[in-house]
Chain A
Amino acid sequence: MAAVGLKCPECGSLDIVDDEHYSQPQLVCADCGAVVSEGLLTTTRSEELQGTDVRYSNSTEVNKQPCRNQIKGIHRVRALCRILRLSFVMEETAENYFKQAYEHPSFIRVSLQKKEVLAGCCILATCRQHSWPITMGTMTCLLEANPKLMGVVYQEMVKALKIEAPPTSVIDLLETHCQAYKLSPQHVHEELSESSKDLTKRAAVLLELAADAWLVTGRQPVPILTASIYLAWQSLKPTQTRLKYTLARFCQMAKVAKSSIAPKRVTELKEVLCKLGQELPWLRGSEMTPQTVVQMVDDILNYRLTLLRKALKSHEAALASESELPPSLEDTQPGPRDDAPSLDATASQPDAESAQQPQQDVDLTCTVVMGGLSRAGSGQVSTPSKRSLFEPPSVTHAKIRRVQLPVKEVTGDEEISDSEIDSYIRTPQEMRDYAEAKEALSSSEEEF
């Protein structure tokens, strides 16, 4: 029996049955056969149980074929390997990594952008494991990706796959970087040209020196590479023509990208060379400046061991003589020569000042030049005995830190005064003003 209370309009009988006409539900009178009412012939989309879209991940196709994006990704990995001319073994490894990473739970649901970058990261990891020198920057360029995204995905991938990929050292990168410089006789004038081999050799020595002088650790590798190649090029034939070339012009000539950081590295490297060059015996007392040092680079590099020893000795002597006399009485450095002219000259002044102001508690200006020591307020002048010949620039030019207030001892359970809390609450007048102002602002915004 169908719904109770339904009467057939034709014969008035109460015997109404549910009868389907093919797929159309109908209510029919059992006595006279009149159709009382009928339902819809077709169902709506939401009522359909069969024939709806099934998500790819729920279908059985997942087991038969890898998803389209994975296939595309593998092709991308292969293409990049071909571009970089990697060996077959490395290509296989990179593909394996990519497959593993793609199916890893932390990567299966990420955006397509990240999956594209993942391909590059796998290749990067493979290159590092096989000591093939390539920078992350190069990979980022090839993928045309965001460098930050590259970094994030790379670190996630290494963690997820638990692989160990030691970072490439700067010196390994030098040779490949050097190849990019177009300085052969067919590209530039004969006087300005230089063979890649000689350039690499000289630049390698300069780079080693820079690394030992703390100019490389913690910094971007490419600017220091550019700087060492530039100085190597200048010093291999220090003619006036070459010396007149600035870094920017050199990069333009060699068809290499300019960098805003490389000039700073050039300056730092020249300072290091000056410190060593000062010890050359045939200078006979004349000053070694960054301008004149380039001509002497050849000699400096040839005898760098001896020069280092001598520089250390004179540095020790300078420190010893400094500490003998109380710093407050010293205005100028004792010796005529100092290994760190820029450092010591400025150090002597605050030395004298700070000694006269022992109560200057947390003023860190004097400690700024003192190699960035962060201990403050002791009133004691930090002695230069800790200063070595070479120091990382972040120590030499330490940031001036905000004055640190001494940490108050609290128990955490003290009484909280009402007045203090009331100072954080608005008065009724303020509240009214605030509400009015907000209304005025929102109404003026609505007008636009």
Chain B
Amino acid sequence: MEQNNSLPPFQGLASPQGALTPVMPMFSPMMPYGSGLTPQPVTNTNSLSLLEEQQRQQQQHGMPGGSGQTPQLYHSQTVTTTTLPGNTPLYNTTPLTPMTPITPATPASESSGIVPQLQNIVSTVNLGCKLDLKTIALRARNAEYNPKRFAAVIMRIREPRTTALIFSSGKMVCTGAKSEEQSRLAARKYARVVQKLGFPAKFLDFKIQNMVGSCDVKFPIRLEGLVLTHQQFSSYEPELFPGLIYRMIKPRIVLLIFVSGKVVLTGAKVRGEIYEAFENIYPILKGFRKTT
């Protein structure tokens, strides 16, 4: 018996408000329901709505000596204001059914200009032969093997700086690389080490299993607001973890969003998924930017 909760499922977020837009963003009935463009009825009982307006105005009237890094982008975004139907979205958002949105729909603005950096790649490869872990631990300098704790040899190489778990079945997991090519190179080096130790190692079925990226949107985020409007995707439990866990469905990525504006993306099999996920989340986060 599924209880659909009291809150209406889609409280979209406010489109990026600049001083050039009217205070109440317009929305036409032609907008697909739940496209994320329906403005969120912000119950701003506190004193700071005034504050935000002021702050916005301050930022509109030029950032004194803006540094080269992000303000350019910032300016352009406030100029392009509300996105209206008629613009093709940057990424293919599927036609959403009201009750079960799959993608947090993106208003068609330019890309954020921020590129997530890859921090960790996990890959697996099959060496194709049974291995004797005791021999490997004996003959390799960079190996540790503690059968009571874990049934695999932990081997490390310096360049690229990675760690590998080598199992007696011949399968190996390689972690710590910063790019797909580095991961592949590292896996090959481990395979070569195992070869030199006297085993007929091959290099079969190399596959990237997980990719982790991170980036910084450079503004603080109201996580409480985000969890209320995107309840189906987010989980925010400050008693357990300080960040908000956002499970995006398309692409299937998990994002950890923190109040400082740092975002960690994980669960990708290819690099493009991380970029796509970030481009999907950036407009949503912008909607929750409260400049105080």
Contact = CB atoms under 8 A, between A and B. Distances in A.
Interface string A365-397: 000000011110010111101101111101100
Interface in A400-419: 407-414, 416
Interface string B201-225: 0000000000000001010111110
Nearest to B239: A136
B118 to A, nearest CB: 8
A308 B197 CA distance: 70
B28 interface: no
Interface stretch (A56-64, A159-167, A284-292, A340-348): A159-167
A165 B224 contact: no
B69 A392 contact: no
Contact of A163 (B5, B140, B178): B5
Interface in A164-187: 164-167, 169
A375 B69 contact: yes
Contact of B218 (A219, A312, A373, A411): A373
B255 to A, nearest CB: 15
A308 B50 contact: yes
B155 to A, nearest CB: 8
Contacts of A169: 224
A297 interface: no
Nearest to B119: A404
Interface in B41-73: 46-48, 50-51, 54-55, 58, 63-69, 71
A82 interface: no
A136 B240 contact: yes
A320 B71 CA distance: 16
A262 B147 CA distance: 45
Contact of A167 (B50, B54, B160, B227): B227
Nearest to B54: A312
Contacts of A414: 185
Interface string B261-292: 11000000000000000000000000000011
Contacts of B160: 408, 410
B223 to A, nearest CB: 5
Given A304-B47, A412-B181, A431 B138 contact: yes
A363 interface: no
A305 B47 CA distance: 6
Given A304-B47, A316-B58, A320-B64, A382 B69 contact: yes
B65 A389 contact: no
B236 interface: yes
A165 B6 CA distance: 9
Given A414-B185, A426-B139, A218 B292 contact: no
Contact of B5 (A165, A381, A392, A422): A165
A24 interface: no
Interface stretch (B12-20, B80-88, B103-111, B186-194): B186-194
Contacts of A425: 139-141, 193, 196-197
A421 B228 contact: no
A409 B242 CA distance: 35
Nearest to A128: B5
Interface stretch (A2-10, A14-22, A207-215): A207-215
B24 interface: no
A394 B258 contact: yes
A395 B51 contact: no
B259 A214 contact: yes
Contact of A221 (B67, B238, B243): B238
A403 B232 CA distance: 38
- Place the interface of chain B in its size category: 35 or more
A425 B258 CA distance: 44
B4 interface: yes
Given A135-B239, A218-B242, A426 B5 contact: no
A70 interface: no
A412 B182 contact: yes
A387 to B, nearest CB: 11
Interface residues of A, number: 80
A304 to B, nearest CB: 6
B224 A421 contact: no
Contacts of A359: none
A240 B151 CA distance: 65
A158 B235 contact: yes
B242 to A, nearest CB: 4
Contact of A383 (B5, B66, B220): B66
B138 A434 contact: yes
Contacts of B67: 380-383, 385-386
Nearest to B74: A386
A407 B258 contact: no
Contacts of A382: 67, 69
B231 A164 contact: yes
B112 to A, nearest CB: 14
Contact of A380 (B6, B68, B260): B68
Given A308-B51, A426-B140, A385 B64 contact: yes
A218 B2 CA distance: 29
A129 interface: yes
Contact of A378 (B69, B221, B223, B227): B69
B93 interface: no
B180 interface: yes
B5 A164 contact: yes
A107 B188 CA distance: 42
Contacts of B224: 167, 169, 217
A32 interface: no
B65 A383 contact: yes
B1 interface: yes
Given A424-B141, A424-B157, A410 B7 contact: no
B42 to A, nearest CB: 13
A28 interface: no
A246 interface: no
30 contacts: A129-B3, A135-B239, A136-B240, A151-B239, A151-B240, A164-B231, A164-B232, A167-B224, A217-B221, A217-B259, A221-B239, A305-B47, A309-B50, A373-B216, A383-B63, A383-B67, A385-B64, A385-B67, A385-B71, A408-B182, A412-B180, A412-B181, A412-B183, A412-B184, A421-B192, A421-B193, A423-B141, A425-B193, A426-B140, A431-B139
Given A151-B240, A218-B242, A304-B47, 6 more contacts: A155-B237, A163-B5, A391-B220, A410-B181, A412-B181, A424-B142
A-B pairs, 10 with minimum CB distance: A412-B181, A412-B184, A218-B242, A164-B5, A323-B64, A323-B65, A218-B259, A151-B240, A217-B259, A394-B260
